[in-house]
Amino acid sequence: MSSKKSTSSRTSRQSHRSTLSLTRTEIIINVYDLLPPGRLSSVLWTVGASLLHSGVVINGKEYAYGGHERRGVTGVYWTQPGTEPAGGTFRTEILQGFTFATQAEIDAIVRRASLDFDGSAYNILTRNCNHFTSHLCQRLTGRPGPAWLNRAASIGVAFPCVVPRDWIEPPDFETAEGELLQDDDDDDRYEDSDADAHESSRMLRPETRRTLAASGHEDQSSGTAKGKQKGIPRDSSGRRLPASERAPLAGR
């Protein structure tokens, strides 16, 4: 009789573990080097001080954060996993951990994170894509992303003069693939509940190629210095946004 109970208990535990394994979701961090391939980037990567971009991969979508100048609009967007940002090179994939949250719960967490990371609040040194990655990983797995992802930004905060000019003064116009989690006219669609968060993920428009910083093109063509300055995307401290760190916006 005791043997039968033991066998039944073991079967029940195995069944429970099997059920859990079917519902857990991998949380992966993709890391990209923003410096051109070469000796300098190799050395900085080796010592853990590279200029990096990162995104969080969840169920076939890579979520990242970028800047723009539209107040009240999230800077969080998604792309196909492994899509390299402008000027970036894929470096590595990190298995951050797992979440046992349902899809609706995951969507709600991502949605809340997107509300916390407004695109106009982006700052190259103090609130960048790696800060978002750490925040989202904390919410999903209970552990923030690796601290070394933002080591270069930390150095830049302490010693602003060491931030490379090429990184903070990129070309004025670039293209990137991605889709914001919301647009200006989508605000009323979202409610802070699991069910509506799951619904919002299905309402995302198909991924398209967006032209970044296109809104200032007419001003630049006018030939005035003021117009040219107006068309340059900048972070919350007035630094020019790197092409790799600009959130994709619809050209409307």
Active-site residue numbers? 53, 129
Burial of 182 (0-12, 13-18, 19+ CB in 10 A): buried
Q: Please state, in angstroms and rounded to a whole number, the distance separating the CA atoms of residues 252 and 243.
A: 19
Distances (CA, A) of 193 to 4, 111, 112, 138, 190: 45, 10, 10, 20, 9
Within 10 Å of residue 46's Cβ, how many Cβ atoms?
9
Q: What's the token pair of residue 148?
A: 């070394």
Helix axes 103-116, 194-202, angle to 10 degrees: 80
Q: Is the dihedral of CA 167, 117, 175, 79 positive or negative?
A: positive
CB 105 within 8 A of CB 38: no
Total length of the chain: 252
Structure tokens at 147: 């601290």
CB atoms within 10 A of CB 27: 23
- Nearest by Cα to 53 from 64, 42, 44, 69: 64
